[in-house]
Chains A and B, each alone.
Chain A
């Protein structure tokens, strides 16, 4: 038939497949060479993408560090129970035994009224005035350490149950500030998600616009290749690879920016951690983070160029 007649000069299938792969490779290299040939535009685009991505990236790392530090604090959550002054030491020790068996309790420690007074006498420097007191104003104290698995919520529950005990005058979670910190971290985490989405969108637009300009600049080439029988896929390919390169290079730049930024603040931070006698280690991108970052930015590049290509390439037809 006429149709087969017209198409008879197609190369054999095996050749076509390798030729197809070959064209992918050629597009990849061609788009890279385009980037190389127009360094100014490329550097600008890639830098903008890199800077854009470094903000959510840096914020993410900041939170990761805060999380690690606050994780250390979490294990130091304590509940102090100040008992009624009328409770005898024997009864108080019995209560301690009982609390130790409760759920979510890791350990307990008993501090008698006398011990408390002695500690206070030594640490406060009010020794003399304390000696003048006719009776010990301090109660027996039980320090309760919640179990490792206890989060703020269960710690709070435990606190309520302890508070409800008749023998307990005051139950105090020592780490209310920590709870506030957790809430702030939670807010910050959600902010990072929002920022990341916004900035990903920005990158999408940047790459889309760059590819759009690229398409405009190569208007003539597109027309000519269409006229000599290029398929849409063939014409699309170098632009899509262009977007992939932009995304990937932008991701690498953002990684560099964040790494350098963290290097810059690591000095003072080490001094700070010395002051607090803790060994805070600055966490930077893990290998996994790096892979995810590059994969995401590359994907954004592909998506951005895809949008531009879908919107603008089909409109170009020879006349």
Chain B
């Protein structure tokens, strides 16, 4: 699903956020990215989400080279990814349902289909009863769950989450992480950046640890890098 070959990312400021990173996350695998603040976790996810481009090396998503993807293909590639942000990035001018429905509307699903799938996604995160609420009226954890519902509503093959539990208390954090594990169990590839080491220990999943832009620990190398090839 994701392949990095000697990826280096140097920001225009000259700062090298990733240094010669190679990794392979197979279809249907789940892994955590850990590391100190500023280690390059977000940068790694941004390269996969086509927000940043590698300065050197190759990044591939589903064997598509992300280095020189034409601009107009980026939206279509992103539709295969669900992104969850630390600050959930909900649109506060519309109710929960509309937030969750947005990816489907963008992809041109018909209204009946949009409604069906959006409700299913909200049900999955336990917020179906809040579909008509405005996001501002929800608690932090609920907002994060709405963000997750929006990220999974179009059944992406890949879920990226950057500090999804950053602002949440331990119990909520565990709940959220469990949702990711559930999605992984039904075949979605999941990559979560987090520095909540305690929680990561609990959930026995491979880890990628970054230190000052270098990948110093890669559990994936020992495992079956191919993963289940359930996405053909």
Contacts and interface: CB of A to CB of B under 8 A. Distances in A.
B164 to A, nearest CB: 15
A187 interface: no
Contacts of B155: 9
Interface string A202-232: 0000000000000000001101111111111
Given A6-B77, A230-B75, A22 B111 contact: yes
B64 A229 contact: no
B108 A318 contact: no
B78 A228 contact: yes
A16 to B, nearest CB: 5
Contact of B108 (A5, A16, A220, A227): A16
9 contacts: A5-B231, A9-B80, A19-B108, A22-B110, A221-B91, A227-B49, A227-B83, A231-B72, A234-B75
A229 B105 contact: no
A124 interface: no
Given A2-B63, A2-B64, A230 B106 contact: yes
Interface in B126-185: 150, 154-155
A7 interface: yes
Nearest to B76: A7
B108 A15 contact: yes
B51 interface: yes
Interface residues of B, number: 34
Contact of A23 (B77, B81, B105, B150): B105
B62 A6 contact: yes
B83 A6 contact: no
A23 B89 contact: no
Contacts of B93: 221
A226 B62 contact: no
A18 B106 contact: no
A245 to B, nearest CB: 18
Interface residues of A, number: 32
A229 B110 contact: no
Contacts of B77: 6, 229
B113 to A, nearest CB: 8
A3 interface: yes
Interface in B55-96: 61-64, 72, 75-81, 83, 89, 91, 93
Interface string A3-28: 10111011100011011101100100
B110 A6 contact: no
A318 B53 CA distance: 12
A20 B105 CA distance: 10
B109 A229 contact: no
Nearest to B92: A220
A318 B231 contact: no
Nearest to A224: B89
A168 to B, nearest CB: 79
Contacts of A231: 72, 75-76, 106
Given A20-B108, A229-B76, A229-B106, A5 B62 contact: yes
B13 interface: no
B225 interface: no
A134 interface: no
A319 interface: yes
Contacts of A10: 107
Given A228-B79, A228-B150, A229-B103, 8 more contacts: A2-B64, A15-B108, A26-B105, A224-B91, A227-B51, A227-B83, A228-B106, A229-B106
Closest 7 CB pairs of A and B: A19-B108, A229-B79, A2-B63, A229-B78, A230-B106, A228-B103, A231-B75
A11 B110 CA distance: 9
A5 B60 CA distance: 14
B84 to A, nearest CB: 11
A19 B75 contact: no
B125 interface: no
A18 B108 CA distance: 8
Contacts of A15: 108-110
B222 interface: no
A226 B51 CA distance: 10
A6 B51 contact: no
Contacts of A319: 46, 51-52
Contacts of B52: 319
Contact of B110 (A3, A5, A18, A225): A18
Contact of A229 (B89, B91, B107, B111): B107
